[in-house]
Amino acid sequence: MSNEDDEFKDVEKGLPSENTAQKSSIKFLLIFLVSAVIIILIVLQLGNTIGEFIEGFSEFGKIPGQIVLNGSISLLLGIIQALIFRSKIKSRLYVFIAVSLLGGVAGGFVGGLLLNSGLYVQPIIGAVNGLLAGGISSLAQNRLMSNKKYGWRWFLYNSISWALIFAIAWAIGSDPNNLPLVALAGGFLIVACGISLVLFLRKTPQIEFS
């Protein structure tokens, strides 16, 4: 037996088994579920305080609020995704998270501009926030991919799924004074993103970052 054979004798060929994939899916969903519960508790306990903080920047209209909201959500989603992909992100883990925040800030800025212009259709604002947050972050994250073949799929997944999920979440939490609904919107958003990511990974298990 050659040295090359010895080197790879313990390496399993092919994609993960169905059982392994199911266990991973449950694990990933639990991460998102726990994060959703944390978000709900934070909103219920600190929602008024956060709202008062944002009101301090009211001279700039709706932009600061959308930046804080969208940026925070995108940052959290980026952190969760980084935890899930940590074995595949061989380096620049913080870059992966940072570009998620950048995408969220950009989406929030544009969403705030739309609100300042008089467009108060919350699902549209949410869709714009999600589309830009998911699209910008995934485009930057694509540069970290070791397998460029799946970059386009990652971009489409983040852009479309985030746009749809954010639109629904913004519709649910359209009244900032109704903290239970705002908390529900936040929890829904995190869980829905978790489900969509699991479905994406089941279809594209080969995705890899470096």
191 within some domain? yes
In a domain, 7, yes or no: no
The confidence score (pLDDT) of residue 106 equals 95
Domain assignment present for 6? no
pLDDT of 111: 94
Least confident of 6-20, 46-60, 86-100: 6-20
Domain membership of residue 150 as a residue range? 20-203
**Smallest Cα–Cα separation from 144: which of 198, 94, 69?**
94
Query: pLDDT for 23-34, tens place per residue?
Result: 778 888 999 999
Tell me the range of 1-5, 66-70, 146-150 where mean pLDDT is highest: 66-70
- Amino acid 171: pLDDT: 95
Residue type, 23: K
Model confidence pLDDT, tens digit, residues 150-194 = 788 889 999 999 999 999 999 999 888 888 999 999 999 999 999
Contact between 137 and 85 (Cβ < 8 Å) = no
Query: What pLDDT is attached to residue 14?
Result: 43
Q: Does the residue 14 lie in any domain? A: no
Q: pLDDT grade, residue 98 (50/70/90)?
A: very high
Residue 208 in any domain: the answer is: no
Q: How many domains does the structure of the chain reveal?
A: 1
pLDDT at 210: 54
Q: Is the pTM of this model over 0.85?
A: no
pLDDT confidence of 6, banded at 50, 70, 90? very low
CA distance 134 to 156: 9
Q: How confident is the model at residue 91 (pLDDT cuts 50, 70, 90)?
A: low
Average predicted confidence (pLDDT) for the chain: 83
Q: Is the pLDDT of residue 99 over 80?
A: yes
12 within a domain of the structure (yes/no): no
